[in-house]
Amino acid sequence: MTTHMTPPLPRSPFALFLDIDGTLIEHQAHPEGIAVDDELRDLLIAAGEVVDGALAFVTGRSVEMVDRIFSPLEIPVAGLYGLEHRLQPGGPIEAADEPEDVASVAEAMQREFEHVDGVYFERKGPVLAVHTRAAPQAFDAVKASAETALARLPAGYRIVAGNAGLEFLPVGALKSAAIDRFLEIEPFNGRVPIFIGDDVSDESGFTFVNKTGGLSIRVRPRGATEAHHTLPDVAAVRGWLAKAVLSCPVGAGKATRTS
């Protein structure tokens, strides 16, 4: 697919859907290692004002962890690839628990790799992530073990390998569905969606946004992508967002969503 290195600035009004790791913040070896700087918080506050609150995180992290990372800022979130939601700031969190079979797989794999430095397991309810960013040499062994373990999970679970590890995901964990759910409610309804992400798990979101006439942007793509536009790194994402904020007046009216 043909991509363009510089996304155009959006025509208002639009809604922003943002991945976090590798998109707004650089990846770290350990998921708990990221930190949010004041510059990013200020940018998100300004962006939220421009789009009348139609800004949401669409991430593989849990809603609880997103709130902790970005505190005191609170933004609508689709967590765990859409398996968890908080649709409005201050609203209730629709959380997802860890099924027993996923817990069993997690415990078995943790025992298998407990002596391998740099392999980290992140248990996120129905989603199990195995991070190998700090141990790239272990990825093949982790993947082989995961493929064997997949048979012990219910039908509909799949393994998605990303930039630095893999995740066990249920079939309903799709960023496309998460974005679609937001677009059905205020203040997102009627706005042109913009989705920015950096990994394989973001591809369903790009496909969906393309079909709705929105803007799809992948950061630092490695190989083919459904995104129509690309940006080279996190700094470029922040720079583009800042220009988008400056290019649109606060409180712009609504547009018609295309199909």
Tell me the pLDDT tens digit for each residue of 85-98. 999 998 999 988 89
Beta-strand ranges (E) seen in the chain are: 14-18, 55-58, 77-79, 84-86, 120-124, 127-131, 157-162, 165-170, 192-197, 215-219, 229-231
Q: What are phi and psi of 57, to 5 degrees?
A: -85, 135
Average pLDDT estimate for 99-122: 95
Give dist(CA 166, CA 174) in Å, integer. 15
148 and 182 both lie in a single domain: no
Q: Does residue 108 fall inside a structural domain? A: yes
Average pLDDT estimate for 147-158? 92
In the chain, the amino acid numbered 220 is: R
Q: Domain for residue 231, yes or no?
A: yes
The answer to whether residue 19 is catalytic is yes
Phi then psi dihedrals of residue 47, to 5 deg: -65, -40
Whole-number Å distance between alpha carbons of 61 and 92 = 17
Question: What predicted TM-score, i.e. pTM, was given to this entire model?
Answer: 0.85
Task: Provide the pLDDT for residue 5.
Answer: 67
Q: Which of the listed residues 170, 198, 222 is the one where a domain comes to its end? A: 170
Domain that includes residue 184, residue range: 14-95+173-247
Angstrom distance (rounded) from CA 205 to CA 152: 28
- Residue where a domain terminates, one of 170, 187, 212: 170
Pairing relation of β-strands 165-170 and 157-162?
antiparallel
> Which residue among the candidates 19, 21, 198, 199 is catalytic per the annotation?
19
Q: Are residues 118 and 21 in the same domain?
A: no
Residue 72 three-state SS:
coil
The last residue of a domain, from among 145, 170, 195: 170
Q: How many domains in the chain?
A: 2
Residue-wise pLDDT for 27-79, tens only, equals 877 677 788 999 999 999 999 999 999 999 999 999 999 999 999 999 999 99
Instruction: For residues 18 and 83, state if they share a domain.
Output: yes
E-strand stretches of 80-191 = 84-86, 120-124, 127-131, 157-162, 165-170
Say what the pLDDT of residue 93 is.
92
Please give the structure tokens belonging to residue 34.
């990221």
The reply to whether 180 and 142 lie within a common domain is no
Would you call the peptide bond into 187 cis, given omega within 30 degrees of 0 as the criterion?
A: yes
